[in-house]
Structure 1
Amino acid sequence: MLATFLIGLREGLEAALVVGILVAYLGRLGRRDVLPRLWAGVGLAVALALGIGAVLTFGSYELTFVAQELIGGLLSLLAVAMVTWMIFWMQKAGRTMKATLEGGIDRALTQGGLWALVAIGFVSVAREGIETTLLLWSMVQSFGDAPSALLGALLGLAAAVVIGALIARGAVRLDLRRFFAWTGGFLVIVAGGVLAYAFMDLQEAGALPGPFTAAAPIDAVTGAVAVGWQAFPFGWAFDVTSAIAPDSAWAAILQATVGFMPRMTWLQVTAWAVYIAVVGFLFVRGLRSRRPSASAPLVSSNAADASVSSPTQQGAA
């Protein structure tokens, strides 16, 4: 629940701030009459995300086990790719986001008409919505506890909406640069865990060699799949299920925070380590290269447009 809460909070607040920029700019232009079009686009984006989630959840029941694992692994890889791209896109484009969104509004009002504003609202939220849906679905598949995971995500999204509204009204002060930096680092770790789980799915489906295929190294003494260095590269890297039960609270906490599972294959461990090392290094380097010379201001404003400009001014990570 904690992991999905933080994901819902991070992604929800990101979407709320983007919508806040658009709403505030239309208010400053005196064009609140076109707000229903913008909200229609936002509603369509939310409906799309929910529809994708429903298809993934209920459609998998009609598939064979191998097909479920194969599709689950591929979708988890897609979720990791989208999260990784979004983290670095926000680092690069965060400072110009407000100007880009306002430029899109200007073009829509002068050239595009009704559907242009609907499209802006849709595109502004759909990206975060689809990314969140895929990531949460992958984590639910990994945890096997859908009610708690979904409840955490819903609470995170609700908290994001409340915080976004308070920021827009100037009723709360929040250092968004620091918030997105910390949650971005958390997402890197979460994405590493999802990547490891994707490799497990693909190994179980037989798409990758592993303990479930003929490529598995066999322990000459026990006759089971080997564990440890002798099992490299297609066996089990370790197996501590005797100390940490896979369905225990400790296992859930470790998997949600650092992507650790009581039993992991060498391909899983390698993928996780390489991802954390490479993406983590690039993420930290991006933070350092964009560190402001002075202390970043806290978000607080009595004017709507000033309050929502903060993610660009503070370089949201």
Structure 2
Amino acid sequence: MLATFLIGLREGLEAALVVGILVAYLRRLGRQDALPRMWAGVGLAIALALGIGAVLTFGAYSLTFEAQELIGGLLSLLAVGMVTWMIFWMQKAGRTMKATLESGLDRALSVGGLWALIAIGFVSVAREGIETTLLLWSMVQSFGDAPAALLGALLGLAGAVVIGWLLARGAVKLDLRRFFAWTSGFLVIVAAGVLAYAVMDLQEAGALPGPFTEAAPIDPTSGAVGTGWSAFPFGWAFDVTAVIPPDSVWATVLQATVGFMPRMTWMQVSAWTLYFVIVGIFFIRGIRSRKPTRDAATVPADPATSSLTQQGAA
């Protein structure tokens, strides 16, 4: 619930920031008449995200176990790819987000068509919506506790709406640069865990070699799949289920925060480690390279460093 709450809060606030920029710009231009069309696009984007979630949730019931695991693994890989792209996109394009959105809105207004404004609202929110849906679906499959996970996501989204509204009203100020930096770092860890879960799904489906296939190394003493260094690379890396039961609170917390499972394969551990190290290094380098100088800090042009109130009054 905590993990999905933070994801819902982070992704929801990003969407709220985008919508806030569009609404403030239309009001500044005196084009309140265009707001209903833009909101229609936002509503379509939300409906698309909900529709994808419903298809993923209910469409898998008629599939075989192997097919479910294969689709789940591939969609989890897609979610990891989208999250990774979003993390680095925010680092690179955050400073020009406002200008990019406003220029797109200018083009839509100049065209004057109904669909142009609907498309602006739709495209601005659809990416965050689809990304959030895939990530939450992958995490729900991993946790196996859909009600709590979905409740956490809904609370996070509701919190994002409230915070976005308070920012727009000037009732609260938030260092969005620091907020997105910390939550992006958290998403790196979450994405590593989702990647490890995707590997497990693909191994269970037989798409990757592992403990569930003929490639599994067998312990000659017990006759079970091997565990430890002797089982590398297609066996179990470790098995601490006797100490941390899979259905315990600790197992759930560790899996939700760092992607740790009481029993993991060598391919899972390798995928988690490689992703965390490689993406983490590039993420930290991006954070350091984006540190503002004293002069630049006096003119915050980045929407991720200024509040929605400042953007609306600009």
Partner of 2:39: 39
Aligned to 1:134: 134
Partner of 1:271: 271
Q: Structure 1: how far apart are the matches of 2:178 and 2:158?
A: 21
Structure 2 equivalent of residue 178 of structure 1: 178
What is the CA-CA distance between 1:112 and the residue it aligns to?
A: 4.6
Counterpart-to-counterpart distance in 2, 1:64 and 1:302: 51
Alignment correspondent of 1:156: 156
Give the equivalent residue in structure 1 for 2:99.
99
Q: Compute the displacement of 1:302 (Å).
A: 5.3
Instruction: Say if 2:87 and 2:184, in contact at 8 Å, map to a contact too.
Output: yes
Q: Kindly indicate whether residue 307 of structure 2 is the aligned counterpart of residue 305 of structure 1.
A: no
What's the secondary structure of 1:171's corresponding residue? coil
Match of 2:210 in 1: 210
Displacement of 1:275 in angstroms is: 0.0
- Gaps spanning 5+ residues in structure 2: where? none
After superposition, the CA RMSD in angstroms is 1.3
Q: 1:293, CA displacement in angstroms?
A: 1.6
Counterpart of 1:11 in structure 2: which amino acid?
A: E
1:122 is aligned to 122
CA contact (8 A) 2:17 2:308 kept: no
**What is the CA deviation profile of residues 192-219 of structure 1, one whole-angstrom value per residue up to 9, with x for unaligned ones?**
0000000000000000000000000000
Q: CA deviation at 1:53?
A: 0.1
Contact 1:171 1:300 in 2 (8 A): no
Give the 3-state SS of the residue equivalent to 1:174 in structure 2.
coil
What residue number does 1:315 align with?
none
Structure 1 residues 214 and 303, CA gap change in structure 2 (3 angstroms): closer
Structure 1 residue ranges without an equivalent (≥5): 310-317
1:113 Cα offset (Å): 1.4
Report what 2:280 is aligned to: 280
- CA separation of 1:43 and 1:9: change in aligned 2, threshold 3 A: same
Shift of the 217–169 alpha-carbon distance from structure 1 to 2, 3 Å rule, reads: same
Instruction: Indicate if the aligned counterparts of 1:169 and 1:304 stay in contact, CA closer than 8 A.
Output: no
Q: Deviations along 1:84-112, whole A, 9 cap, x unmatched?
A: 00000111000000000000111001115
Deviations 1:244-273 (A, max 9, x none): 000111000000111000000000000000
Give the aligned length.
307
Residue matched to 2:187: 187
Determine the structure 2 residue equivalent to 1:233.
233
After superposition, the Cα gap between the structure-2 partners of 1:232 and 1:22, relative to the gap in structure 1 and judged at 3 Å, is: same
| Counterparts in 2 of 1:79 and 1:303: CA distance versus 1, 3 Å | closer
- Give the corresponding residue for 1:197: 197
Alpha-carbon deviation of 1:299?
A: 4.4
8 Å contact kept, 1:79–1:131? yes
Q: Give the partner amino acid of 2:216.
A: A
**Residue 51 of structure 1: aligned partner:** 51
Alignment of 1:69-108 (within 5 A): 69-108=69-108
The sequence identity of aligned pairs, in percent, is 81
Structure 1 CA distance for aligned equivalents of residues 36 and 224 of structure 2 = 63
Q: Secondary structure at the match of 1:264?
A: strand
4+ runs deviating over 4 angstroms: 295-304
**1:312 paired residue number:** none
1:314 counterpart residue number:
none
C-alpha contact 1:66 1:204 (8 A) present in aligned 2: yes
Per-residue deviation, 1:168: 0.8
